[in-house]
Structures are given as C-alpha cells and as structure tokens.
Amino acid sequence: MSAHTHISSSNTNEVTETFQVIGMTCDHCAGAVAGELTGIAGVVDVRVDVPTGQVTVTSTAPLTTADVRDAIDEAGYQLA
C-alpha cells in the first residue's frame, strides 16, 4: 500500500514533477527512494506509486535531472 498524501502549502510557486523509477518492488523500496529525494534542497513532498514506478516530487523550484538521478541512484534504483 502506498500513501498518496498531498501537503498543501501557501506557496503557489511550487513545482510538481513526475519521474519514472526502475526497480522498485515494495514499500521499503518506496521509502528508500522517498528518503533520498526528500534530501534534495527545496523538496517539500514526495509521493511514490510502487506498482507504476512513478514518483511525484513537489519542490519550491524545478529540480535538475542530475539531482534526481543521483538521489535515486543513491537509493539503489534507476531513473528511467
């Protein structure tokens, strides 16, 4: 079961982006990916859907693909 919680904020400049991650099979995988992505400066919310491999990240500014890829690699998975 994966949580789909959205955190509301008064900051209307937030950016939401969805990434495809390869290799996640369980909630532990989701937790590892979310934990690494949360460590990126400006990230305010991470939602992981294990069955589809989609990770939705909300941040205060657009994220660089390199930062996202590094965080996902650190968790042990791959950015599609």
Domains within the chain, CATH numbers bracketed: 15-79 (3.30.70.100)
Q: Three-state DSSP class for 50?
A: coil
The closest of 12, 13, 20, 71 to 41, measured between CA atoms, is 71
Residue range 20-78, pLDDT digits in tens = 999 999 999 999 999 999 999 999 999 999 999 999 999 999 999 999 999 999 999 99
Q: Indicate the pTM of the whole model.
A: 0.83
